[in-house]
Chains A and B, each alone.
Chain A
């Protein structure tokens, strides 16, 4: 029997796995009629999920944690049994602003710490407090930007203005001079570079080499009550993700995403993130970054609880939630490795043996314990070499300078 599922998404390159699952038959093979609902703001995506207009959503991982903790309008326990991608973000700044930074962009991107310090110096030279667009308070982008800025002593709440705007309006806002730069998912950074409005200042993959990005989120109650549809969908997505990672399908995927009912941007811009060939300044040859965005390999979809807790640690750090053990437990429980294991129990997907790990501890590809098959984890280090131990959140937090 075919099961109909409605999933809300935002027009972004990292909706790829959902789009491929629908358009290339992976959902159908599992008996799922997948209906993808295009949405233009995270607020509306959240509302459609929370109030049951859709069963699932392509959601910012921190937003799933925030909604569960009651930090974003109507509180609702959400559950994320699947990560749709890691990495894929890019910080771009107006070309004039970037003049104060390392001019050779490959060197600039290779040294995020040095660039953060250059950025700190550039703030004082700019004609106003720099206004940086972020897609949401509870976005991986905002959290990553804060982490990066703070490494150079920049207080993201005082020394710059973070302005929230949806990805699809970023380029227009650059054009109107309302913002001096922004950090967003692709293809929006590339679109601003291509328009000659901005150049790349940092890419997410160099800040946290395996940064958690979008998850597939459900209402927890719906997830518990509907094991069969969830399991079928997860199996379809795992196969769609492998298809998306395969370079042979890149042109096809870029053209699919370019359609007006999906991202509605030119395929050649979308392809840059997919192939990891980032044009960082208009007219320059691309900078090769093979890990720019991952969908399937290295068990990318596996929702490590430690990653939800890392997100939680950052919400605490910036005063968005008060730290206590019960809240931490609720935050960690948003990621559901148990469901992932159940859904893929009979598949050949390599399955991590643990549900938590040290985040940032893998410096080079590492073979790890897996229930079956070979599982190699890619490097997941933070640019500042910190390691997050999910069992010792307090120690991790006390390692950061307190907010001024």
Chain B
């Protein structure tokens, strides 16, 4: 069974590819949805096409599936109407699957389930990564605000932080918001650090 993954995010596609390999599928190709991807896909004659539901290129893909004369068998969106939970899970995870005519649904279902699991895992990793990134940039902002206070008001690092925290508590804001406001004000006043 030849599986093609169309995905903008190289990392997510790799995560999915790895999972499919582990499950014993070995004819897997990744195609980014750019330029002439549709012609490439047509030449590959896939049995299953997995695509990110959020990709703007889905309309382009579906048009190819509708008009292609090169594909030996028609390909349609895979939907097992009897399995509403699966449909919901696939849409929630952002997976769409197109399958060649005649492929039995028992053969497709494990692939789809695996894609849903891997997409979800990827989304989790990504949100953790984003959180970590924003925590890092928060710390940078707070550090900068601290050094402004230390310079301008001759405070120790500890006192500068305490001052930021008190201001945040009094205003019902996050420390990083107060720190950002302080940096902006300092920049406007030409204070710098």
Contacts and interface: CB of A to CB of B under 8 A. Distances in A.
Nearest to A178: B35
A51 B76 contact: no
A43 B62 contact: yes
Interface residues of A, number: 23
Contacts of A48: 91
A348 interface: no
A40 B87 contact: no
A170 B61 CA distance: 15
A166 interface: yes
B54 interface: yes
Interface in A163-181: 163-166, 168-169, 176, 178
B180 interface: no
A355 B55 CA distance: 39
B79 A74 contact: yes
A47 B60 contact: no
B56 interface: yes
B137 to A, nearest CB: 19
A169 B57 contact: yes
Contact of B56 (A53, A72, A166): A166
Given A73-B76, A176-B35, A41 B63 contact: no
Nearest to A40: B56
**Most B CB within 10 A of own CB, among A136, A164, A166:** A164
A53 B91 contact: yes
A169 B62 contact: no
B17 to A, nearest CB: 23
Contacts of B62: 43, 72-73, 164
B59 interface: yes
A41 B35 contact: no
Contacts of A47: 53, 77, 91, 96
A41 B76 contact: no
A51 B88 contact: yes
Contact of B63 (A74, A137, A168, A169): A137
Given A47-B53, A74-B79, A136 B91 contact: no
A13 B110 CA distance: 41
A123 B63 CA distance: 23
A43 B6 CA distance: 15
Given A53-B91, A74-B77, A44 B58 contact: yes
Interface in A115-152: 135-137
Contact of A51 (B35, B56, B58, B91): B91
A41 B59 contact: yes
B91 A166 contact: no
A72 B79 CA distance: 13
A137 B66 contact: yes
A41 B91 contact: no
A43 B58 contact: yes
Contacts of B66: 137
A42 interface: yes
A51 B87 contact: yes
Given A40-B56, A73-B76, A165-B60, 16 more contacts: A41-B56, A43-B96, A44-B58, A44-B96, A47-B77, A47-B96, A72-B62, A73-B62, A74-B79, A135-B59, A136-B59, A137-B63, A163-B63, A164-B63, A169-B57, A178-B35
12 contacts: A40-B56, A41-B57, A43-B58, A43-B62, A44-B96, A51-B91, A135-B59, A137-B63, A165-B60, A166-B60, A169-B57, A178-B35
